[in-house]
């Protein structure tokens, strides 16, 4: 008996029609019928009956269905690992990440993962949200840190709700308040923002309140933005994670209304990813959960 016969049977069951299965698998309907009959001859009993209303599994077909699914899934996993073993960089994981994760999460995640998988290598590619989305779409990376929700055709796993906060110079009069900073001040105060292809967080917060920001400076670098705020050149909005470990002399305030971003990971080839990549993805989820 062959995996092809099992896969064909499962496709017929999935689509509920021999003709649809034939179209999906690139066969003629007679060819699909032949494969099904051959499988039934190998087994010695029928797996399904056909009528005008569609197909119906026999008692034997219902019993074998989950077992055949396990066999086909196991074969996919086997073929995937064989392919990985043939690939020269099978133990290299390519990661697309933005600054706050690259600085505050990944060093510890990678160190702890490598203590369990010493042969694993990593390639880190920094970028903005759009850069990472492009790399995921083109499958140039194996794992990408993203914000959720998004429109990516990838397996996306939420990890962490990260507050978005206002950052001001301690010399700014608004910094004397103990209350949250109303977003309306981003229309009147000078604003320092990231470049337009990386300022999604700020745009999301202000657009939600109908605010047009008074942007005076733009930069590509998150920490350059904080340095400019420290010199009282303007105010900005940043994720809380970015502020971990920084020593800039600034005032951090909650926003009114409050805002957040949801950090997640995206896997562009979840079904066909290497075992190492899937293990790393599971490790990231468990690591972040342990820090909450």
Residues 133 and 150 sit within 8 Å (Cβ to Cβ): yes
Cα–Cα dist 260/204, whole Å: 10
pTM of the model: 0.68
Instruction: Provide the pLDDT for residue 37.
Output: 92
Instruction: Provide the pLDDT for residue 106.
Output: 97
Instruction: Provide the pLDDT for residue 165.
Output: 97
> pLDDT truncated to tens, each residue of the chain (292 aa)?
689 999 999 999 999 888 888 888 888 989 899 999 999 999 999 999 988 778 899 999 999 999 999 999 998 888 877 765 555 456 889 999 999 999 999 999 999 999 999 989 999 999 989 999 999 998 899 999 999 988 888 899 999 999 999 999 999 999 988 889 999 999 999 999 998 878 888 999 999 999 999 999 999 899 999 999 999 999 999 999 999 988 889 999 999 999 999 999 999 987 778 888 999 999 999 999 998 7
Instruction: Provide the pLDDT for residue 124.
Output: 95
Instruction: Provide the pLDDT for residue 88.
Output: 47
Instruction: Provide the pLDDT for residue 197.
Output: 73
CB count within 10 Å of CB 182 equals 15
Cα–Cα dist 244/276, whole Å: 29
Instruction: Provide the pLDDT for residue 2.
Output: 86
Cα–Cα dist 210/192, whole Å: 18
Instruction: Provide the pLDDT for residue 1.
Output: 64
130: Cβ contacts below 8 Å, ≥ 6 apart? 197, 198
Question: Torsion angle of alpha carbons 57, 61, 66, 72, nearest 10°?
Answer: -110
């Amino acid at each position: 008996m062959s995996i092809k016969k099992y896969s064909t049977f499962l496709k017929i069951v999935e689509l509920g029609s021999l003709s649809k299965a034939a179209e999906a698998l690139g066969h003629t309907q007679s060819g699909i019928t032949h494969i099904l009959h051959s499988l039934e001859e190998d087994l010695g009993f029928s797996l399904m009956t056909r009528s005008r209303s569609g197909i119906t599994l026999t008692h034997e077909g219902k019993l074998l269905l989950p077992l055949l699914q396990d066999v086909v899934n196991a074969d996919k996993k086997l073929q995937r690992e064989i392919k990985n073993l043939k690939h020269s960089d099978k133990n290299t994981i390519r990661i697309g990440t933005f600054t706050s994760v690259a600085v505050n999460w990944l060093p510890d995640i990678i160190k702890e993962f490598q203590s369990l998988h010493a042969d694993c290598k990593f390639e880190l590619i920094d970028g903005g949200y759009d850069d990472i989305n492009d790399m995921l779409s083109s499958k140039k990376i194996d794992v990408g840190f993203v914000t959720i929700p998004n429109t990516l055709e990838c397996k996306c796993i939420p990890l962490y709700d990260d507050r978005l906060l206002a950052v001001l110079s301690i010399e700014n009069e608004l910094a004397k308040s103990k209350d949250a900073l109303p977003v309306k001040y981003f229309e009147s105060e000078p604003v320092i923002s990231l470049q337009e292809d990386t300022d999604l967080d700020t745009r999301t917060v202000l657009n939600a309140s109908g605010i047009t920001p008074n942007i005076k400076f733009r930069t590509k670098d998150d920490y350059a933005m904080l340095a400019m705020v420290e010199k009282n050149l303007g105010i900005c909005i940043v994720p809380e994670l970015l502020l971990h470990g920084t020593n800039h002399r600034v005032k951090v305030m909650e926003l009114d209304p409050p805002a957040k971003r949801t950090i997640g990971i995206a896997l562009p080839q979840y079904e066909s990813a290497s075992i190492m990549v899937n293990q790393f993805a599971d490790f990231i989820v468990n690591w972040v959960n342990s820090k909450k």
